Amino acid sequence: MSEQASPEPTVGIFIFNLQGELLLLKSHKWPGRWVVPGGHVELGERVEQAAIREAKEETGLDVHDLRFLCWQEFIYDPSFWKKRHFLFFDYACRADSTEVRLNDEAEEAIWIAPEKALELPIDTYTRVSLMEYLKKK
């Protein structure tokens, strides 16, 4: 594992379908927890562009109506599969389709009512952003 030189900016995408359900994924990177799709912001890429790209790469879904939820700092939290310092920029958005095509990072996907998602073992950062979404809703 290479050492980080600086924090890594990442996006989390809270994708909602036409029925208002949230897409959650299980990933080996977050053992035992449900999370939202997301990933790194690439050099020269705007954060919103990264959210749209990551949603497509990880779920096959085209998303629209991005709305900023919140940002969080993740510093060497053991809930992730390796030691990292991230800056999470989380967005809520819509998808017109519910046909998810997972890439190799996700093992499982579900659509669930946002309030019901809070009853699942979701990671702490997903929980914070989901609570922020529900406050703004």
pLDDT in tens, 55-90: 999 999 999 999 999 999 988 766 666 777 889 999
pTM (two decimals): 0.92
Strands 63-75 and 85-95: antiparallel
Domains assigned to the chain = 8-136 (3.90.79.10)
Instruction: Give the integer Cα–Cα distance in Å for 112 and 80.
Output: 23
Strands 106-112 and 22-27: antiparallel
pLDDT band at 1 (very low <50, low <70, confident <90, very high): very low
